[in-house]
Amino acid sequence: MKTGARDTVLVTGFDAFGTHAMNPSALVAQTLHQRQIAGCRVIGAELPTVFGLCLERLDSLLARHQPLLVVGLGLAAGCAALQLERVALNREDARIPDNQGAQPQDRPVIPGAPAAYLSSLPIDAMLRSMSAAGVPVQTSQNAGAFVCNHLFFGLMHRLASVPALHGTRGGFIHLPQLPDQGSPHMPLAQMVHGIRTGIRCALAASTALVQQPGNIET
């Protein structure tokens, strides 16, 4: 049952996976849950690091909340800054198994879907805003081939093809490790500050971006 209106921001994170005892993306989503940003209510949710199942959970959240904005978060252990992902690829090629043991190799996320989607977040404006707020941030052209990209592509495909989600913008941001997890790292409070700043910037964008599929030359 739909309980939200077009004043909701959905922020998703993932549970712990692989050798990581915690996942900062879930902690950021939990911290932002029920916060208000620029007059919008944030719904923070933890998704399973499982191919397929994470999209089933996403579908339930989208149907229930009908968000204006969706920001997926995930862990990229080797990065030192927040990474604003520009491109979701219709390809999965897992280096490690997911949390249910699946390890898909060289297959599409969604057969028959476009080769790629571009994020519909205002990436460049968010980059400037988050950097001005003192948060290390950069852009990325590749969200990987694991569950993060699986979710990112699945989200963008839904935003492009589901009439009820017309006008909803979305994208994906990778986070560094927490200080207790090793280096490079970033404090949780700084991650939360950066994501809040980015969301505020995205909500302030005067014109919703039109989601278009794109082909990637390989």
Average pLDDT over residues 187-202: 98
- Are 91 and 154 in contact by the 8 Å Cβ rule? The answer is no
Domain ranges across the chain: 8-214
Residue owning tokens 């390890």: 103
Angle between helices 188-204 and 24-32 (to 10 degrees): 60
Percent of the chain exceeding pLDDT 90 equals 84
What's residue 3's pLDDT? 42
Q: pLDDT band at 181, cuts 50/70/90?
A: confident
Neighbours of 76 (CB within 10 A): 22
Average pLDDT over residues 5-17: 91
- CA gap 206, 189 in Å, rounded: 28
Kindly tell me if the per-residue pLDDT of 2 is higher than 70: no
- CA gap 73, 57 in Å, rounded: 15
What's residue 5's pLDDT? 54
- CA gap 142, 108 in Å, rounded: 15
Neighbours of 41 (CB within 10 A): 16
Average pLDDT over residues 194-211: 78
Question: Whose CA is closest to 75, among 106, 49, 107?
Answer: 49
Q: Which sign does the torsion angle of CA 11, 9, 149, 62 carry?
A: positive
Structure tokens, 37: 């940003």
Average pLDDT over residues 59-66: 97
Kindly tell me if the per-residue pLDDT of 78 is higher than 90: no
- Are 76 and 181 in contact by the 8 Å Cβ rule? The answer is no
Average pLDDT over residues 49-64: 98
Average pLDDT over residues 79-92: 97
| Topology at the third CATH level for domain 8-214 | Aminopeptidase (3.40.630)
Q: pLDDT, tens digit, for every residue of 146-180?
A: 999 999 999 999 999 999 999 999 999 999 999 88
Tell me the C-alpha to C-alpha distance, in Å, between residue 131 and each of 72, 147, 183.
Answer: 19, 27, 21
Which residues on neighbouring strands pair with residue 213, listed in sequence order? 117
Residues forming the active site: 85, 148, 174
